[in-house]
Amino acid sequence: MADTGADQLDDTIVSEPLDLVRLSLNERVFVKLKGDREIRGRLHAYDSHCNLVLSDVEETVYIMDDEDEDLKTIQKQSEMLFVRGDAVVLISPPTQS
Amino acid sequence: MLFFSFFKTLIDEQVIVELKNDMSVRGTLKSVDQFLNIKLDDVSVVDEVKYPHLSAVKNVFIRGSVVRYVHLPGAVVDTALLEDATRKEAASQASKMGGR
Amino acid sequence: MENTDPSLLPSIIFTTAAQLVDCVDKKLLVVLRDGRKLIGILRSFDQYANLVLQETIERIIVESMYSDIQRGVYIVRGENVVLVGEIVSFTLFFGSVAFDLLLTYLNLKDPEKENSIPLREVSLDEIYAAQQDEIDNRRRRELTKNSKLIDIGFSIDTQQEDMY
């Protein structure tokens, strides 16, 4: 971090990893979580622990079928979701076009 | 403190807290603290058959560290305000770091 | 907490202490991260949710069976606490007849809950055996699932701490 850090409030400067997350606010992001879970949703808030708030969330969970023990995925929807940061593995910004 | 303040605005709303063991508890958000410990009133467990021990419980204190998700009612969240607050928090964090 | 006027105690309201102080001297259900369920009277706590419980019993529940063990005074380290629940009325929870009635009521309310047959007290030996079966079963399923996840390219976090 440079000594002349006066212009850090500039919204487009990316000097640390979470700045990339800031640029994804109000965009749809992909989040991978511990325990074989993935979510996609519109990002509205984050903090330094990677706590998140997302809307229009689609969650994908890998589960094992009770009878035939086959691995399958289930989808769950949620209109507004708080995600605790300690389970977050990665946050991927929307793909740039 | 962003999420602490955020949860304070949700007090008295109906939420579902999903724990890291997959158990989900529905209830009215009554209180939250700096660790995001949560207190719910009028609780019901989503899968009562699997968790019979909670049938006789009326309110719960849930330790923040065991929470995976909190499902919120979408209508009560002002997303634009939340994004602004997030940017402000990020900026104040950055200026703290810069002042080292 | 009837006397916590927000204008008098602005900084205290949103603390762990404020959340747990209502529970002091009440009969509580405490669920721990290893799956244990304790029922006892809360006598003290701090900001980490470390707890002191008196007249504690440990209740082991496996499917529809349960068994109680007298444990006495417990000091529970906060990081192991999952949740603390205030029990509505302990005649409901302890008097098994009343508890049966409650579950019957729940059955009536929701026809899908036909599996929620009332809990029945069994001997310690019986519950330990059933509990061991349940643990073995879960371990086996977890191993199968993990190997299948590895097959499709996941890496597995081997820590199995959230058993509750």
Q: Let me know: does C16 contact C47? Beta carbons within 8 Å.
A: yes
Average pLDDT over residues C30-40: 95
Q: What is the pLDDT of residue A5?
A: 45
Tokens (6 digits) for B79: 């997303």
Lowest mean pLDDT among A3-17, A34-48, C75-89, C111-125: A3-17
Q: Which of B31, B54, B58 sits opposite C18 (nearest CB)?
A: B31
Instruction: Tell me how close the Cα of A97 comes to any Cα of chain B, in angstroms.
Output: 23
Q: Which of C49, C61, C88 sits opposite B53 (nearest CB)?
A: C61
Which helix (H) or strand (E) segment holds residue C142: the answer is helix C124-151
Note the pLDDT of residue C12: 64
Tell whether B50 is within 8 A of chain C (Cβ): no
Q: Class of the A17-92 domain?
A: mainly beta
DSSP letter (8 states) at residue A63: E
Q: Which residue of C has its CA nearest to A36?
A: C154
Could you state, in order of their start, the residue ranges of all structural domains in chain A?
Answer: 17-92
Record the tokens describing residue A83, joined without a space.
């995600």
Integer Cα distance of B29 and B41 in angstroms: 7
> What pLDDT is stored for residue A2 in this prediction?
44
- What's the ipTM? 0.91
Enumerate residue ranges in chain B where pLDDT < 50: 99-100
Q: Rounded distance, CA A5 to CA A9, Å?
A: 9
Question: Is residue C51 assigned to a domain?
Answer: yes
Task: With CB atoms and an 8 Å threshold, state whether A44 touches B86.
Answer: yes
Residue C13 sits in a domain whose CATH number is 2.30.30.100
Determine the average pLDDT of the residues in A17-45: 94
Do residue C15 and residue B33 have CB atoms under 8 angstroms apart? yes
Chain C residues near any Cβ of chain A (below 8 Å): 141, 144-145, 148-149, 152, 154, 157
pTM of model > 0.90: no
Tell me: pLDDT of A94 over 60.
Answer: yes
Question: For residue C82, is it within any domain?
Answer: yes
C56 assigned to some structural domain: yes
CB contact under 8 A, A69 and C141: yes
Q: Is A19 on the interface with B (CB under 8 A)?
A: yes
What CA–CA distances, in Å, run from A72 to A62, A65, A66? 6, 7, 11
Q: Strand C120-121 relative to strand C65-76: parallel, antiparallel, unpaired?
A: parallel
- Establish if B79 touches chain C: CB-CB under 8 angstroms: no
* DSSP 3-state of C23: coil
Contact A55, A44 (CB under 8 A): yes
Q: Which chain A residues are within 8 Å of B7, Cβ to Cβ? A: 82
What pLDDT score does A1 carry?
46
**Contacts of B92 by beta carbon, 8 Å cutoff, 6+ apart:** none
Q: Which domains are delineated in chain B?
A: 2-98 (2.30.30.100)
Domain that includes residue C23, residue range = 1-87
Which residue of A lies nearest to C152 if distances are taken between CA atoms?
Answer: A71
Query: Which one, of C114, C81, C132, lies nearest residue B48 by Cα?
Result: C114
User: B94 to chain A: nearest residue by CA?
Assistant: A8
- The count of domains in chain C is 1
Instruction: Report the pLDDT averaged over residues A24-49.
Output: 95
Instruction: Write A59-65 long-range contacts (CB < 8 A, 24+).
Output: A61/A36, A61/A37, A62/A36, A62/A37, A62/C149, A62/C154, A64/C141, A64/C144, A64/C145, A64/C148
B: neighbours with 3+ CB pairs under 8 Å?
A, C
Q: How far is A84 from chain B (nearest CA, A)?
A: 5
How much is the mean pLDDT over chain A?
86
The tens digit of pLDDT for each residue in C66-103 reads 999 999 999 999 999 999 999 876 444 444 555 555 55
Q: Give pLDDT, residue C107.
A: 47
- C145 or C2, greater pLDDT: C145
Pick from A11, A22, A83: CB nearest B69? A83
Kindly report the average pLDDT of chain C as a whole number: 79
CB contacts, 8 Å: B67 with chain A: 84
